[in-house]
């Protein structure tokens, strides 16, 4: 019998999956159901990267995509027996600071958080419901992107708004927590001395943010109340003067839904370049607008590294992860070229080869590239529920609670 845990990351029109054995860190399979709807496409790969055959199926809904994934996996592993299913849930509010076993009491609490993440939370919940329908007897675990940041100092958690709004839940949450959790655990295992110091982690991808860590714990993040704040992203604006929103409403007559579409889907690298939200496309382009979009992204990253270092009172290491952070030597070099005053100096040969340590030997601050693995963090939490623990990392997501009798914000 092939005992395994399944991890799910449900987006608006996608379902990212990974199948892990009950021990070990290498997945048995990974996959993506993309463009869920009439034109849905499912791709699956074995752990070694070779393609897995995919059965023809209806990918019109998340539930259909779930059935297609499981049917295809069972052609490869006919004796597949799922022990637990772990889910990425973007928002856990200020209550949930650790993974939670999903039951009938928890789901309404997660639904109540949907107004805080309207473009993410409903789709995460759709993935949960699809998994529950397919596997009603399998334990399901929610892993929260906000949980890693729940121990911020109050000054890094609040806005200068009336306190009643803070009590209502209008506060800084931070996101990409599963990625930061993995990097924190990886550093704790591979470079424990650095992990105990002042570390800025830059998760740079289509979604982008930075996290300031002290002793492996988050003390500040560039993202705030929503996944819009901070760095510019593929299609999201990043930091924005709230006066711009007032102008758009008062002078342009734009509705909340129109502004939401503008800020989430039309801005960032796409809006600045008029070409693409993909950094690879912009790096290969020759238009002045593409160059300006890259310039703006680099400048904002440099500025936020400084802000995160200020929150820490200094910096011992800068760590890059995410699609851009892990794969673009050019962007890493450009971000670091104005940070010499922080003791940051790149070894260009190491950087070009995507080495783990890309700083020069004489640099005062270590610069690293650590590929993130959010799926493994989720799998570890799911394993912990059924007693299959791991021994290779100090990930904080090994603590799983089934106490769902907590109030939502």
Total domains present in the chain: 2
387 and 357 both lie in a single domain: no
The torsion angles phi and psi of 214, rounded to 5 degrees, stand at: -125, 120
User: Which token pair is 238?
Assistant: 């990043």
Give percent above pLDDT 70 in the chain: 95
Contact yes or no for 389/358 (Cβ under 8 A): no
pLDDT (average), residues 364-368: 98
Dump pLDDT digits (tens) for 30-64: 999 988 888 889 999 999 999 999 988 889 988 88
CB 107 within 8 A of CB 125: yes
Q: Are residues 365 and 389 in the same domain?
A: no
Confidence class for position 395, pLDDT limits 50, 70, 90? very low
**pLDDT recorded at residue 208:** 96
- Judged by DSSP in three states, 199 sits in strand
Report the mean per-residue pLDDT for the chain.
92
Q: Is 404 a residue whose pLDDT tops 80? A: no
Tell me, yes or no, whether 132 and 209 share the same domain: no
Q: Helix 374-385 to helix 177-190 angle, to the nearest 10 degrees? A: 90
Q: Are residues 213 and 341 in the same domain?
A: yes
Q: Which of 227, 24, 245 is nearest to 117 (CA)?
A: 227
Examine residue 185 and state whether it is found in any structural domain, yes or no. Answer: no
Residue 406 has pLDDT above 50, yes or no: no
Residues 355 and 378 in one domain: no
d(CA 302, CA 298): 6
Q: What DSSP character marks residue 12?
A: S
Please provide the DSSP assignment of 60-105 as one string.
SSHHHHHHHHHHHHHHH-TTEEEEEEEEEES--TTT--S-EE--TT
Residue 285 has pLDDT above 80, yes or no: yes
Give the structural domain span for 279: 193-369
Burial 172-188 (b: 16+ CB within 10 A, else e): bbbbbbbbbbbbbbbbb
For residue 394, is pLDDT > 50? no
pTM of the complete model: 0.91
Same-domain check for residues 130 and 213: no
Q: Would residue 158 count as lying in a domain?
A: no
DSSP codes joined into one string, 230-267: SS--SS---S--HHHHHHHHHTS---HHHHHHHHHHS-
Residues with catalytic function: 145
Its sign, for the CA torsion 154, 155, 157, 159, is: positive
285 shares its domain with 382: no
- CA dist., res. 397 & res. 381, Å (int): 6
Within a domain: 232: yes
Residues 307 and 382 reside in one and the same domain: no
CATH of the domain at 121: 3.30.420.40
What phi, psi does 83 have (nearest 5°)? -95, -30
Q: Distance between CA 116 and CA 95 in Å, rounded?
A: 13
Within 8 A by CB and 6+ apart from 282, the residues are: 269, 273, 275, 276, 290, 293, 294
Question: 184 CB contacts (<8 Å, ≥6 apart)?
Answer: 148, 195, 201, 213, 216, 217, 394, 395, 396
Q: Are residues 380 and 331 in the same domain?
A: no
Rounded Cα–Cα distance for residues 84 and 88 (Å): 14
């Amino acid at each position: 019998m092939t005992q395994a845990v399944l991890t799910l990351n449900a987006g608006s029109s996608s379902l990212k999956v990974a199948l892990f054995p009950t021990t070990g860190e290498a997945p048995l399979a990974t996959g993506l159901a993309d463009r869920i709807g009439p034109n849905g496409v499912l791709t699956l790969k074995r752990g070694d990267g070779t393609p897995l055959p995919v059965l023809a199926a209806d990918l019109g809904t998340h539930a259909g995509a779930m059935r297609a994934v499981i049917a295809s996996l069972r052609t490869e592993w006919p004796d597949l027996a799922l022990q637990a299913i772990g889910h990425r849930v973007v928002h856990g509010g200020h209550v949930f600071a650790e993974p939670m076993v999903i039951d009938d009491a928890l789901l309404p609490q997660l639904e109540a958080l949907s107004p805080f993440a309207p473009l993410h939370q409903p789709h995460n919940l759709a993935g949960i419901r699809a998994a529950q329908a397919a596997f009603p007897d399998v334990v399901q675990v929610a892993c929260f992107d906000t949980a890693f940041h729940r121990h911020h100092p109050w000054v890094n958690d609040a806005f200068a708004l009336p306190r009643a709004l803070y009590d209502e839940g209008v506060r800084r949450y931070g996101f990409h927590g599963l990625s930061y959790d993995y990097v924190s655990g990886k550093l704790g295992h591979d470079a424990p001395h650095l992990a105990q110091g002042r570390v800025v982690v830059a998760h740079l991808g289509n979604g982008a943010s930075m996290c300031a860590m002290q002793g492996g714990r988050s003390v500040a993040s560039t993202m705030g109340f929503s996944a819009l704040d901070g760095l510019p992203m593929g299609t999201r604006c990043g930091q924005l003067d709230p006066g711009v929103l007032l102008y758009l409403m008062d002078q342009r007559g734009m509705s909340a839904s129109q502004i939401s579409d503008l800020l989430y889907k039309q801005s960032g690298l796409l809006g600045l370049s008029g070409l693409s939200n993909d950094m690879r496309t912009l790096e290969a382009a020759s238009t002045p607008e593409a160059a300006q979009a890259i310039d703006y992204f680099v400048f904002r990253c440099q500025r936020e590294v400084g802000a995160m270092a200020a929150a820490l009172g200094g910096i011992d290491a800068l760590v890059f992860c995410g699609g851009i952070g892990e794969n673009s030597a050019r962007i890493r070099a450009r971000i670091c070229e104005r940070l010499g005053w922080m003791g940051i100096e790149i070894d260009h040969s190491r950087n070009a080869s995507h080495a783990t340590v890309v700083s020069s030997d004489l640099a005062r601050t270590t610069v690293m590239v650590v590929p993130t693995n959010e799926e493994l963090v989720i799998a570890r939490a799911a394993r912990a529920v059924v007693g299959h623990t791991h021994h290779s990392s100090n990930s904080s997501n090994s603590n799983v609670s089934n106490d769902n009798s907590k109030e939502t914000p």
